[in-house]
Amino acid sequence: MRYYDDFPVIKNNPDLVYLDSGASSLKLQSVIDKMNEYYTKYGVNVHRGVYQLSYIASDEYEETREVVAKFLNAKTKEIVFTSGATSALNLVARSLSEHINEGDEIITSVLEHHSSVMPYQEICKNKGAKLIYVPLDKKGNLTVENFKKVLTDKTKVVALTLMSNVLGNTTPIKEITKLAHEKNAIVVADGAQAVPHMKIDVKDLDVDYLAFSAHKMLGPTGLGVLYGKYKELNSLNPIEFGGDMNDNVELYDSTFKEAPYKFEAGTPKIAEVIAFKEAIKYLEKQDLNKIYEHDYELTQYAINKLKAIDGVEVYATESSCGIVSFNIKGIHPHDASTIYDEKGIALRAGHHCAQLITKWLGVTGTLRASIYLYNDYSDIDKLIEATVVACEYFKEWII
Binding stretches for ligand C6P (CB under 6 A): 22-23, 84-86, 113, 115-116, 161, 165, 190, 192-193, 213, 224, 348, 352-353
User: Closest separation between CB of residue 253 and ligand C6P, Å?
Assistant: 33
Q: Which amino acid is at 212?
A: F
User: Closest separation between CB of residue 370 and ligand C6P, Å?
Assistant: 7
Q: How many degrees, rounded to 5, is the angle at CA 193 between CA 205 and CA 93?
A: 70
Closer residue to ligand C6P, CB minimum distance, 136 or 391: 136
Q: Which of 376, 347, 333, 317 is closest to 136 using CA atoms?
A: 317
User: Closest separation between CB of residue 221 and ligand C6P, Å?
Assistant: 8
Closer residue to ligand C6P, CB minimum distance, 165 or 177: 165
Closer residue to ligand C6P, CB minimum distance, 56 or 353: 353
Closer residue to ligand C6P, CB minimum distance, 74 or 357: 357
Closer residue to ligand C6P, CB minimum distance, 58 or 213: 213
User: Closest separation between CB of residue 348 and ligand C6P, Å?
Assistant: 6
Backbone phi, then psi, for 139, in 5-degree steps?
-90, -5
Q: Give the chain as a 3 state SS string.
A: CCCCCCCHHHHHCCCCEECECCCCCCCCHHHHHHHHHHHHHCCCCCCCCCCHHHHHHHHHHHHHHHHHHHHHCCCHHHEEEECCHHHHHHHHHHHHHHHCCCCCEEEECCCCCHHHHHHHHHHHHHHCCEEEECCCCCCCCCCHHHHHHHCCCCEEEEEEECECCCCCCECCHHHHHHHHHHCCCEEEEECCCCCCCCCCCHHHHCCCEEEEEHHHCCCCCCCEEEEECHHHHHHCCCCCCCCCCEEEECCCCEEECCCCHHHCCCCCCHHHHHHHHHHHHHHHHHCHHHHHHHHHHHHHHHHHHHHCCCCEEECCCCCCCCEEEEEECCCCHHHHHHHHHHCCEECEEECCCCHHHHHHHCCCCEEEEECCCCCCHHHHHHHHHHHHHHHHHCCCCCC
Closer residue to ligand C6P, CB minimum distance, 69 or 163: 163
Q: What's the distance, Cα to Cα, between the start and end of the chain in Å?
A: 40
Closer residue to ligand C6P, CB minimum distance, 10 or 23: 23
Phi-psi bin for 353: left (phi > 0), alpha (psi -120 to 50), beta? Answer: left
User: Closest separation between CB of residue 110 and ligand C6P, Å?
Assistant: 13
Closer residue to ligand C6P, CB minimum distance, 213 or 299: 213
User: Closest separation between CB of residue 350 and ligand C6P, Å?
Assistant: 9
The residues that are catalytic are 353
User: Closest separation between CB of residue 180 and ligand C6P, Å?
Assistant: 19
User: Closest separation between CB of residue 188 and ligand C6P, Å?
Assistant: 11
